[in-house]
Protein backbone atom coordinates (compact mmCIF):
# COMPACT_ATOMS: atom_id res chain seq x y z
CA UNK A 1 0.00 0.00 0.00
CA UNK A 2 1.26 3.46 -0.82
CA UNK A 3 0.03 6.94 0.00
CA UNK A 4 1.03 10.58 -0.19
CA UNK A 5 0.83 12.73 2.93
CA UNK A 6 1.64 16.34 3.73
CA UNK A 7 4.70 16.59 5.97
CA UNK A 8 5.39 19.81 7.88
CA UNK A 9 8.89 20.54 9.18
CA UNK A 10 9.79 23.17 11.74
CA UNK A 11 13.25 24.18 12.94
CA UNK A 12 13.40 24.57 16.72
CA UNK A 13 16.85 25.54 17.99
CA UNK A 14 19.20 22.78 16.73
CA UNK A 15 16.42 20.29 15.99
CA UNK A 16 13.81 19.75 13.32
CA UNK A 17 10.29 18.74 14.27
CA UNK A 18 8.18 16.95 11.68
CA UNK A 19 4.52 15.96 11.61
CA UNK A 20 1.85 14.87 9.14
CA UNK A 21 -1.19 17.09 8.65
CA UNK A 22 -3.51 14.21 7.73
CA UNK A 23 -2.42 11.74 10.41
CA UNK A 24 -2.61 12.91 14.04
CA UNK A 25 0.07 11.26 16.14
CA UNK A 26 2.57 10.95 13.30
CA UNK A 27 5.33 13.23 14.51
CA UNK A 28 9.04 13.01 15.15
CA UNK A 29 12.24 14.98 15.53
CA UNK A 30 15.81 14.86 14.29
CA UNK A 31 19.00 16.83 13.90
CA UNK A 32 18.66 17.10 10.11
CA UNK A 33 15.79 17.29 7.64
CA UNK A 34 16.88 13.96 6.15
CA UNK A 35 16.75 12.31 9.57
CA UNK A 36 13.29 13.76 10.29
CA UNK A 37 11.99 12.67 6.87
CA UNK A 38 13.23 9.13 7.46
CA UNK A 39 11.81 9.04 11.00
CA UNK A 40 8.47 10.40 9.78
CA UNK A 41 8.17 7.77 7.05
CA UNK A 42 8.78 5.09 9.66
CA UNK A 43 6.24 6.65 12.06
CA UNK A 44 3.56 6.80 9.34
CA UNK A 45 4.17 3.19 8.39
CA UNK A 46 4.03 1.98 12.00
CA UNK A 47 0.83 3.90 12.76
CA UNK A 48 -0.96 2.62 9.65
CA UNK A 49 0.16 -0.99 10.23
CA UNK A 50 -0.83 -0.86 13.91
CA UNK A 51 -4.25 0.64 13.12
CA UNK A 52 -4.88 -2.06 10.50
CA UNK A 53 -3.92 -4.86 12.93
CA UNK A 54 -6.15 -3.43 15.68
CA UNK A 55 -9.15 -3.19 13.36
CA UNK A 56 -8.56 -6.71 11.99
CA UNK A 57 -8.58 -8.12 15.54
CA UNK A 58 -11.70 -6.13 16.43
CA UNK A 59 -13.54 -7.38 13.33
CA UNK A 60 -12.60 -11.04 13.71
CA UNK A 61 -15.73 -13.17 13.50
CA UNK A 62 -17.96 -10.29 12.40
CA UNK A 63 -19.69 -10.10 9.04
CA UNK A 64 -18.29 -7.01 7.38
CA UNK A 65 -17.74 -5.65 3.90
CA UNK A 66 -14.25 -4.30 3.18
CA UNK A 67 -13.43 -2.24 0.13
CA UNK A 68 -10.97 0.37 -1.04
CA UNK A 69 -12.29 3.89 -1.35
CA UNK A 70 -10.62 6.75 -3.20
CA UNK A 71 -11.07 10.27 -1.88
CA UNK A 72 -9.83 13.45 -3.52
CA UNK A 73 -9.66 16.74 -1.68
- In three state form, how does the secondary structure of 2-18 look? CCCCCEEEEEECCEEEE
Count up the domains in the chain and report the number: 1
Distance, in Å, from the CA atom of 54 to the CA atom of 73, rounded to the nearest integer, reads 27
- Higher pLDDT among residues 20 and 3, named by residue: 20
**44: in domain:** yes
What are 24-63's pLDDT values in tens digits? Answer: 999 999 999 999 999 999 999 999 999 999 999 999 999 9
Cα–Cα distances (Å) from 56 to 5, 42, 66, in that order, read: 23, 21, 11
What pLDDT is attached to residue 1? Answer: 74
Percent of the chain with pLDDT over 90: 89
Q: Which domain holds residue 42?
A: 7-59
Distance, in Å, from the CA atom of 20 to the CA atom of 40, rounded to the nearest integer, reads 8
**69: in domain:** no
Please give the model's pTM, rounded to 2 decimal places. 0.83
Amino acid sequence: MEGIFTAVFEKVNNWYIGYVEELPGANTQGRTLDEVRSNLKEAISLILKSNKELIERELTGKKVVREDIKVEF
